[in-house]
């Protein structure tokens, strides 16, 4: 599998771009004032890398503010939620290992 242009999928609410038996790469775009949907718990570790915009991220009982260039790991079986806290679209890359979707 070669390189992937993630920005070609900017604007998609959620899209898995590639996967192997051990991991998945996806992107998500969240409009201002919106969120990623219901709180989730995956059986996978999830890595969230903010490309554009600002995010308020809840991981378990902790809350964080993330800006472009920041990355967070959501451990498997940990409740989490992502909100767009800015005035522009939030665009982030997410990696699941093992695949979650």
pLDDT at 59: 96
CATH number, span 12-97 = 2.60.120.10
pLDDT at 85: 85
Domain boundaries, the chain: 12-97
Q: Decide the pairing of beta strands 24-30 and 14-19.
A: antiparallel
pLDDT at 83: 96
**Which residues sit opposite 63 in a β-bridge?**
58
pLDDT at 1: 72
pLDDT at 38: 86
pLDDT at 7: 92
State the Cα–Cα distance between residues 84 and 68, nearest whole angstrom. Answer: 12
Q: Which residues of the chain have pLDDT under 50?
A: none
Say what the pTM is. 0.94
């Amino acid at each position: 599998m070669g390189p992937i242009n993630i920005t070609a999928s900017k604007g998609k609410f959620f899209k898995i771009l590639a996967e192997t038996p051990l991991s998945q790469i996806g992107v998500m775009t969240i409009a201002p004032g919106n969120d990623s949907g219901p709180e989730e718990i995956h059986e996978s570790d999830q890595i969230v890398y903010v490309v554009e915009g600002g995010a308020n991220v809840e991981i378990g009982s902790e809350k964080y503010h993330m800006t472009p260039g920041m990355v967070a790991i959501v451990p498997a079986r940990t409740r989490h939620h992502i909100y767009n806290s800015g005035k522009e679209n939030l665009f982030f890359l997410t990696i699941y290992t093992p695949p979650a979707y």
